[in-house]
Each structure stands twice: as structure tokens, then as C-alpha cells.
Structure 1
Amino acid sequence: MNHLQEFFSLRPAQRDHIPAFRIAVGVALPLLLLMAIGRLDLAIYAAFGAFTGIYARNESPRSRFLRQSLAGGILTLSVAIGAVLSALAAGPWAVMLVATVVSAFGAVAAARYNLKPAGSIFFIFATAAVGSIEGGAPVWLATLVAFLSAGVSVVLGMGAHLIGERPLPRAVPMVTERFSRRDLVEHGLRFTVAPLVAGTLGILSMELVPQLSHPYWAMVAAVAPIAPPHRKARFFRAVHRIVGTSGGVLVSAFLLSFPTEPWQLVVWVILSQFLGELYVGRNYSLALLFITPVALLMTQIGHPTDPGPLLLARTVETAIGALVGLAVVAWGFPHEYRPRLFRRAGAMGRRLVDRRRPR
């Protein structure tokens, strides 16, 4: 299969609708409750807590409970840190630096305890997005909402085996990757450098072009390509990120082009979450057509803004971050490239020696 065909191919389905349904319900229950009590201004905190359900798909009940509990704890802590930044009215530079630290520690924890999806994309997103809110909820309330929402996802995960979610049969048994201390340090450094550089460029672009906003989207896009285990997968994750997000922005523009009530945005978020999870393991670009609207509509539910600059910012900042991620992918894994370089150098040396030998 050539590179272009990968954008139009779908991997075989593996009962993806079951975890997708569970995750969507985990998002729906907190949002519908907040809508019922008239507190959709808290929706963003609930949504980040609900992202707990994304972790530990198709794992055993015990493994899912342990890993979702850990992921939910980190997500709740990320929201709490962001809420503190919001309460302090921290500027974009402070938010970026704190979110970078969260990214590093979150990525190391995810690698150490084999959380899937890997990396720190949701942790950095929660910290930076909540930290960028002006006049947000009190710290205790934001943390409580995220904690309770995460708890709902964990409870749903505990009963997921009742609807058929279980470990997938594999031709080759999955081996849990073991990281040495050096591996974890290098891993943390990659998840520090990428968001730090991308966040810096995002803030500078915002200062140069006033229409731009949300520099943390560059940070999120920068860490997305680093998580996959192989170089080719990392490269294509960055390209898929740009292509899929651009398409997702168009989908979001269509949805936001109509006069909408808050309840309609909630419905779109729930449906988009389900569709995104349905395809995320089969075609990342296709999944981003639905994942991108989730992020954009989520910010519009409780804190509506003019969608035009929002959509522009999402496109530009994602491109900046993905390019930074590509740079980290190209130069941030030297231990993977050294053996290949040594083999090539050895082959060139042997050819030179062979040419100089008398015949």
C-alpha cells in the first residue's frame, strides 16, 4: 500500500462500536445532567473528566479499572492545575510552561503504566484549555466536576464486559513494553521539548496575527505524533493530524453555521465523540473529522465565541504543532537511528575497500 492509499483505507473493524458506545455514554451522562440543572458552563470540566473512558479499550475488567483510575486521577489533577491557573488569571506564557511540565510527567506516567492511548495529549489539553478560561469556575468546583465525571467513566468501564467489551484475540500475544529509567527520561524530554517549542511558536503567532488564539492547540498537535511506537507511524500520525484536523474544521464550520441552542451542541458533541471513537483505530484522519468538532464545540457550549477566528486558530495552530512534532520525530529518537546509520556507514566502507583492492 502506498502512502496516499493509507489516507483512504480502513483497517478491519474489531468491535469498535462497543467501546465507542461506552465512551459516548460516559460523555453524555455528565453533560446531560449539567444541562438539566442549567450549569453547562461547567461542561468543559466534565468533558475532560469523561475522557477517562478513552483509556484501556478492550482490556480485561481489572486492567481497565486500574488504568482508568490512574488516567482519571491524572486528568482530574490536570483540570485542577488548569483551574488554579485560570483563577490566578495566568497569562499564556505561564499556562504554556505549566502545561509543558504536565505533559512531561503525564507522558512518563502513561509509559510507565502502559496507558493506552499513550502520551500526554489529553493531560496537556485539559491543563491548557482550562487554564486559558477567563473567569472560570472555582477551583474546588472544577475539580469536583472533573472527578465525578471521571468516576462515571470508570464505573461504566467496570461493567463494559457485560456488553461484550473484552480483550481482542491476537495472532501474536501483545507484549507489555518495559522502559528503563533512561528510556523514561528520554521519553519525558521529548514530551517537554515538543509542547514547549510548539507553545512558544503558537503564542508568538498569536501576537503577530491578532486573529489567532488558543496556542495550546499547537502543543496538543505537537505531542500527538510522538506517541506511536515506530518512526513511520509517528510521521503519518503528524500528516494525518494536519489533514484530518483541516477536514474536521470544515465539519465544525458547517455545524456552527446554523443558529444552535446549547442542547444541540451537546448532542453534536456526543455524536461526534461516538463517531470519532468508532474510527480512531481504523483511520486516524477519518476519526479527526469527528474528534476536531468535539474539541471546538466543547469550548462553545459554556463559553461561546465567534466561530470564525476559532476555526482559523485551530487550523493554523495545528499545522504549527504538527510540524514541530515532525521535527521531534525526525531528531528526537537518536537511539533508533544509530544502528541504521552504522549499518549504512559499514556498507559504504566495505564498498570503498572492495574498490581499492587489486584485481
Structure 2
Amino acid sequence: MSLSSILKDLLSLNKVARPWHLPLVTGFVIGLPAIFGALTNTFGEALLSSLGAMVFLYMSGDRTASRMLTMSLCAFGFMACLTLATLSTVLPWLPPFALTAIAFLVILITRYYRLPPPGSFFFILASCVALAMPFDLGAVSNRVGLIALGGMWAVLAAFVYSVVTQAHKAEPQEITVDPQVNALIIEAALTSSVLGASYGFALWIGMNNPYWVPISCAAIMQGATFRMVWHRNVHRVVGTTLGMLLAALLFSFDPSPLVLALCICAFQAIVDYLIVKNYGLAVIFITPLTVIMAEMTSLGMSASLLLEYRFIDIVLGSFFGFIGGALFHRTDVCRRIEAKMSPRSRLSDLL
């Protein structure tokens, strides 16, 4: 494949029809808790509610009742992931194993019930953010409550949006599951192991608060084919570099919490518009968005140092994601394991 064709693939825009107002509503729903926090001097805590409000991204194209059920279950999943990840930080060696277990269950469940994109990604994001927070047993209920409030707000906003857009008139979609359970177990085991390994490696080499390493790894491994994995890898590194420049420009003005909250609204709206058209362009705005969201775990870290850590985290996570994607898509290891898991196989074949 020539360099020009590769660049054309990387820079091409997908033709996906979406309501023009949906990205604007998404930015408002996710950014409103942060705006409220900025106005009440609780910006750091409110960012956790904004994370919970990302449940709005799971609003499907189905009828209103199905939307409410799906989003409510996703909100509960966010709370469960945050709780388990927070409790695992009681021991310094436990988080990588806890992340592996959480990711395995989340990936298996979301893939089995064919949850559309972003799939398992934001469940893993909530877990990784919790791992970056200092362990405080007394603060667990407060953190879970904050993310629950964000989820409740997102569900309420989705209900109002569904009524206004008359989603109740949509044709009901049949609920289906993926019957290839063995393949899903293998996929979940491989992906979760790579995620846990990436986080464990980042902790082992002494990286500061490296929760974005497994997040980047998860984003890369969501590619359906090896070509998509490679594209996402290039997109993420190049997009991150440009996004870092944008974030550096933003923080050079020493913005107030209210300005940062408004930036969350704007960046999220832009990301929601671009993510289905070109992942690389979306990453340019995802990067400053995540740097702002990192305020809940950065504990007053300087903006320049925070940007440096985020860039290193994303590059390392992209490397692990590329390796994991290569193992999954470029080898027949998974197919061999699946064959041995077949009910027709003899017990001796499994040994």
C-alpha cells in the first residue's frame, strides 16, 4: 500500500448521518455538572459527576423505554466499576489485577449484549480514574454518589431529549445477544490482560499517576480489524501531539474553573461530532478534554507537567494496544483456544 493511500485513509471523513443537534446536547449534558461545580467552588468534585454524565453517550437509537433501561443499567455499571476500583487501591499491588478482572467482566457483558459504541470504553475509563485517586474508605460513598448524580442527570436529560425528538414513535429494536460465548470469553480475557499489564508496567517503571495508559490501550484495541488498530494507533499519537499543543495554549491563559467547564461543553460537542467521522481529528479535542478532567486526580500539578505525563501515558498505552491488537488479529492463537473450548472437544485436548 502506498504512502498516499495510507494518508488518504487516515485523513478521510466517514459519511455518517446524525442529527445536527445531538453533539450540542451531548456537550451541554456532560459539561453542566462541571459548570455547576465551577459556580459553587466544587469543580474537582463536579468533574466526577461529569464523568457519570457520560452515560448519555450510551443513548441508543431505540425507543424511549429501551433507552432509559440501557442508560440506567450503564449508570449502575459506572458506579460498580468505580466502587470496585476504589476499594482495590487499599493494597499497592492489587490495582492491576483488579483492573484486569473489572475489564474482563465489562467487556464480556457489553459484547454479549452487543452494546453499541462506545461499548466498554467508559466503564474502563471510570475504573482507571478511580485507581488514580488516593484510597479513602470514607470517601467511597461520596465518590459513588457524585458519579450516580451525573448518571441520573444524563438519564433525565436523555428522557427529555427523547420526548422532544419523539423517540417513542421509533420502531422497536429486537434485543439480541452474541451466541459466540467462547469467542467473547477469549476476547475479553486477552483484552483485559493487556489492559492490566499496561497499567502494571506503568506502575512498575514508576510513572506518575499513569491511569491514562490503560485508557489509551483500551481505545486502540477497540479497532475491529488490525488495520483499524493500526489506524487508531497512528491517529491517537498524531492527534495527541496536536491536542497537547491545543491544551498548552489553553492553559497558558491560566483559565478559571468556569472557563474550563465551558471548554468541556465545547470540546465534548466537537468530539461527539467528529468521533464517527475521523478518530484522529476527534483525538485532537479529546486530549485537552481529558487534561481538564484530570483535574480531579492531579492535585494541583502544573499544567506543563500534566501535559507531559499525559503524552507519555498515551504513547505507552498506544504501544500496548498495538501489541494486543496484533496478537488478536494477526495470529491464530485465539482461534486455537476457541477450538479447544468447543463442547465437541475431548477433555484431553484441553490439557
Where does 1:294-309 land on structure 2 (aligned, <5 Å)?
Answer: 294-300=289-295, 303-309=299-305
The question of whether the paired residues in 2 share the 8 Å contact of 1:119 and 1:224 is answered with no
Structure 1, residues 156-191: CA drift from partner, whole Å, max 9, x if none? 222333454869x9xxx9996724220221121122
Name the aligned partner's letter for residue 313 of structure 2. Answer: E
Residue 270 to residue 30, structure 1, CA distance change in 2 (3 Å)? same
Q: Once the two structures are aligned, what percentage of the paired residues are identical?
A: 20
SS of residue matched to 2:117: coil
| Equivalent residue, structure 2, for 1:99 | 99
Residue 262 to residue 270, structure 1, CA distance change in 2 (3 Å)? same
Distance 2:228 2:247 in 1: 27
Distance 2:45 2:226 in 1: 39
Do structure 1's residue 30 and structure 2's residue 25 form an aligned pair? no
**More displaced stretch, 188-197 vs 274-283:** 188-197
Where does 1:118-267 land on structure 2 (aligned, <5 Å)?
Answer: 118-134=118-134, 138-164=139-165, 178-205=178-205, 207=206, 212-267=207-262
Residue 19 to residue 228, structure 1, CA distance change in 2 (3 Å)? farther
**More displaced stretch, 158-167 vs 52-61:** 158-167
- Tell me the CA shift for residue 277 of structure 1: 0.7
| Equivalent residue, structure 2, for 1:108 | 108
The question of whether the paired residues in 2 share the 8 Å contact of 1:97 and 1:196 is answered with yes
The question of whether the paired residues in 1 share the 8 Å contact of 2:85 and 2:130 is answered with yes
Q: TM-score with structure 2 length normalisation?
A: 0.83
Do structure 1's residue 278 and structure 2's residue 279 form an aligned pair? no
| Equivalent residue, structure 2, for 1:53 | 56
| Equivalent residue, structure 1, for 2:316 | 320
Structure 1 unaligned residues grouped into runs of 5+? 340-359
The question of whether the paired residues in 2 share the 8 Å contact of 1:19 and 1:57 is answered with no
Do structure 1's residue 290 and structure 2's residue 293 form an aligned pair? no
Distance 2:81 2:325 in 1: 25
- Tell me the CA shift for residue 51 of structure 1: 1.1
Q: TM-score with structure 1 length normalisation?
A: 0.81
The question of whether the paired residues in 2 share the 8 Å contact of 1:16 and 1:279 is answered with no
Name the aligned partner's letter for residue 328 of structure 2. Answer: G
The question of whether the paired residues in 1 share the 8 Å contact of 2:186 and 2:334 is answered with no
Question: Residue 19 of structure 1 is aligned with which of 14, 17, 22?
Answer: 22
The question of whether the paired residues in 2 share the 8 Å contact of 1:111 and 1:119 is answered with yes
Residue 213 to residue 163, structure 1, CA distance change in 2 (3 Å)? farther
Question: Residue 77 of structure 2 is aligned with which of 74, 83, 94?
Answer: 74
SS of residue matched to 1:259: coil
| Equivalent residue, structure 2, for 1:2 | 5
Structure 2 unaligned residues grouped into runs of 5+? 337-351
The question of whether the paired residues in 1 share the 8 Å contact of 2:30 and 2:265 is answered with yes
**Bigger radius of gyration:** 1
SS of residue matched to 2:12: coil
Name the aligned partner's letter for residue 12 of structure 1. Answer: K
Count of residue pairs the alignment pairs up: 327
Distance 2:119 2:18 in 1: 24
RMSD: 2.9
- Tell me the CA shift for residue 135 of structure 1: 6.9
Do structure 1's residue 311 and structure 2's residue 307 form an aligned pair? yes
Distance 1:45 1:318 in 2: 21
Residue 175 to residue 133, structure 1, CA distance change in 2 (3 Å)? closer
The question of whether the paired residues in 2 share the 8 Å contact of 1:100 and 1:124 is answered with no
- Tell me the CA shift for residue 109 of structure 1: 1.4
The question of whether the paired residues in 2 share the 8 Å contact of 1:48 and 1:126 is answered with yes
The question of whether the paired residues in 2 share the 8 Å contact of 1:111 and 1:184 is answered with yes
